[in-house]
Structure 1
Amino acid sequence: MTTRVDFYQLSCDPVDVTVAKLARKVLQAGERLLVVSADEAQRSHLSKVLWEQGGAAFLANGMAGGAHETRQPILLSEGSAAPNDARMALIADGRWREEALGFDRVLLLFDATQRDAAAELWRRFAKDETIDNRINKQDENGAWREGA
């Protein structure tokens, strides 16, 4: 099995805006998503941001361990288990977890302070035939583009 790992270098939009943009695309593709962060306050904030997207455009989500975790289209968790059967994971805190390689696709967000760790991970993945790694950067208009 090949896992695709998309690296997203945060430069314009903060984490919460980027998570909302990517989560919307995942749901539009008919997929479920696991959003991973070790920071409980960040998970709570991301949940609120997803719910407050406006009108019918809100992004339904729930917390891992909640009563309806298996039914959530977006599940926020501190770990990499996906009781909602998500095949895609978004790592919001920038800290890689090896268990993420069990997903079909992983979106890894990282900021300037995590750049060296992301570069090291990139080099490791580039040598691994079971990983399809790609880099995504924002242009001056805030749109994400794949490429170096």
Structure 2
Amino acid sequence: MSDAKPEIWFYHLERSTLEQVLPTLLERTLQRDWRALIRGATSHRLDDIDELLWTYRDDSFLPHGRADGDHAARQPVLLSESGENLNGAQALFIVDDSELGAMQEFARCFIIFDGRDEQALNHARGRWRTLKADGADLAYWKQSDEGRWEKAA
């Protein structure tokens, strides 16, 4: 294990939904030859993401599996409630205010939150303050009026 801290990127959803943004971020992660771990707060939410990754495009899908399923270690994208890095992922995706857990083993952590939800927004702000005080390597991404992602901090 490296002592390097991961980059922690906050994605503030205002014009798009998680269902619109997550597949693109995962595609880019896989193009880097990285594996991904998606940490969700509930099994129900992971069920929805599981379905999304099979059906988000008519001509493609994202290969993935569940941490509680067969061959978890071989999955390029793994969905988990516990967040244990069974597939050796370099990228951690935090959705729905899931716990951050240990992040040291990841190169990058994506904290994706819905800015239209006051509770999610406040939770993300609290996380930002805590992580900043801890000296984390933070970046804040938001969508422009045209829908492009721009680094704002």
TM-score by length of 1: 0.89
Cα-Cα RMSD: 1.6
Aligned position for 2:58: 54
Report percent identity of matched pairs: 29
Q: Unpaired segments of 5 or more residues in structure 2? A: none
Q: CA–CA distance in 2 between the matches of 1:142 and 1:79? A: 32
Q: CA–CA distance in 1 between the matches of 2:35 and 2:83? A: 14
Tell me if the contact between 2:97 and 2:123 (Cα under 8 Å) persists in the aligned partners.
no
Residue pairs, 1:11-50, within 5 angstroms: 11-50=14-53
Aligned position for 1:140: 145
- Shift of the 96–9 alpha-carbon distance from structure 1 to 2, 3 Å rule, reads farther
TM-score by length of 2: 0.87
Aligned position for 1:3: 6
- Relative to structure 2, which stretch is displaced further, 24-33 or 103-112? 103-112
The 4+ residue runs of structure 1 with deviation greater than 3 A are none
1:124 maps onto 2:117 in alignment: no
Q: CA–CA distance in 2 between the matches of 1:142 and 1:101? A: 31
Aligned position for 1:86: 89
Tell me if the contact between 2:96 and 2:120 (Cα under 8 Å) persists in the aligned partners.
no
Tell me if the contact between 1:6 and 1:107 (Cα under 8 Å) persists in the aligned partners.
yes
Task: Count residues in correspondence.
Answer: 146
Tell me if the contact between 1:96 and 1:108 (Cα under 8 Å) persists in the aligned partners.
no
Aligned position for 1:108: 111
Q: CA–CA distance in 2 between the matches of 1:51 and 1:32? A: 17
Q: Unpaired segments of 5 or more residues in structure 1? A: none
Paired AA for residue 50 in structure 1: L
